[in-house]
Amino acid sequence: MSERIVISPTSRQEGHAELVLEVDDEGIVTKGRYFSITPVRGLEKMLLGKAPETAPVFTQRICGVCPIPHTLASTEAVEDSLDIEPPKAAKLLRELTLAAHHVNSHAIHHFLIAQDFVPENLMKTAIESVSEIRKNAQYVVDMVAGEGIHPSDVRIGGMADNITELARKRLYARLKQLKPKLNEHVELIISLVEEKGLPEGLGAHNQPTLATHQIYGDRTKFDLDRFTEVMPESWYDDPEIGKRACSTIPLYDGRSVEVGPRARFVEFQGFKERGVVAQHVARALEMKTALSRAIDILDELDTSAPVMADFDITGTGKLGVGAIEAPRGLDVHLAQVADGKIQFYSALVPTTWNIPTMGPATEGFHYEYAPHVIRAYDPCLSCATHVMVIDDEEKTPIKSEMVRI
């Protein structure tokens, strides 16, 4: 006899979501549905009619977990709409900022999953390691982008300022010094995850992966014509879930996809592993990739080079695309600027892509493992919420406007 198990809200993630599982007599999940129940923030609507420079300032506040990717995706979407090509030094500084953010964000995830994998005798070591790595990564964002949380120096057209030669040398030395510590941390996390004894194949699925770049992002690798978005009431086979779900379902080539560290490793490193363990391994290894890239950038950066392009803010109405690889996956912002004002804005954020993939990934294993599957994706629901609720009692969305909110 089938039984329904509801985990609400799911824990140790940003925002609120619900996991509804159909299980058989043995407790094996036969149907997994995962959906956001986080209330809408509506920031995309707030941007309409505002000056283009407003977009990154607003959107970096979509969520406190991914302010860097939202800033960069927003800035690049507006720049694409305005046909702005930032100077090389500005691009390097942005990439350096995101690489440091990858290291910081992945370390935070290791703190969140510590209870799942780290034994008591190693907990102090693991947490101190996370703290040390985060402190250094946030220092880089602070120095390069102006602020550790909301990067004030990322501007339309480039960056507010280049860093000084003294700052470049200090950051270079600091990250080189961090490298052995980070390598040790990565090895610890991977060994603990692999030794946990999770069932082989847990969390594996047959959905394709989507990624545009190993670390930063590349709008030319995201084909807007292959993207569609459907209403949750059309996706979930349970009408009540479809009504309550607060996020649309994005599809690429008509299918749901996986984004994030494992997807990037599959697309750019030939990574073949699938499932929960593979998610954690890829995320840990990506910390090393990001740190190495940050060091290379600091070695390459010309601190005397200009970092701001000349441009006309008026705009021609072209739909601009910004595609940034956030720690949790591809973050796409769309912006249309005409007459000096934002005419259209939409953010297609990482967890939105992964929501329709995470539920089915729980199927085929005992329901007690389902939270492991969800946490392996490090979901962040706050920025994935796109539904406007108009009736506080019935929680009924505006169906006709939902996709473009």
Residue pair 260/358 in contact by the 8 Å Cβ criterion: no
Q: Is 361 within a domain?
A: no
246 is in an annotated binding site: no
The reported pLDDT for the residue numbered 400 is 41
Neighbouring CB atoms inside 10 A of 124's CB total: 10
**Calpha distance 14→11 (Å, rounded):** 9
Please check whether residue 240 lies inside any domain of the structure.
no
pLDDT (0 to 100) of residue 38: 79
Q: Is 383 annotated as a binding residue?
A: yes
CATH number reported for the structural domain that contains residue 108 in this entry:
1.10.645.10
Count of domains observed in the chain: 1
- Averaged over successive runs of 10 residues, the pLDDT of the chain (405 residues) comes to 88 87 97 86 84 94 86 97 97 98 97 95 96 97 92 96 98 98 97 96 96 97 94 90 87 97 97 97 98 98 98 90 97 96 93 95 97 94 60 55 40
Tokens of 33: 């549905």
- Please indicate, yes or no, if residue 366 is contained in any of the structural domains: no
Q: Which domain holds residue 126?
A: 43-222+259-343
Is 388 part of a structural domain of the chain?
Answer: no
pLDDT of residue 384: 59
- Could you tell me the CA-to-CA distances from 92 to 88, 157, 326 in Å, in that order? 6, 13, 16
Predicted TM-score (pTM) of the model is 0.92
Q: Specify if 244 maps to a domain.
A: no
Instruction: Mark 391-401 as b/e (b = at least 16 C-beta within 10 Å).
Output: eeeeeebeeee
For 117, residues 6+ apart whose C-beta sits below 8 A from its C-beta are 189, 192, 193, 196, 280
Q: Which helix (H) or strand (E) holds 321?
A: strand 316-326
Q: Is residue 68 part of a domain?
A: yes
Encoding tokens for residue 401?
A: 């406007």
Place of tokens 């363990």: 277
Give residue 382's pLDDT.
Answer: 72
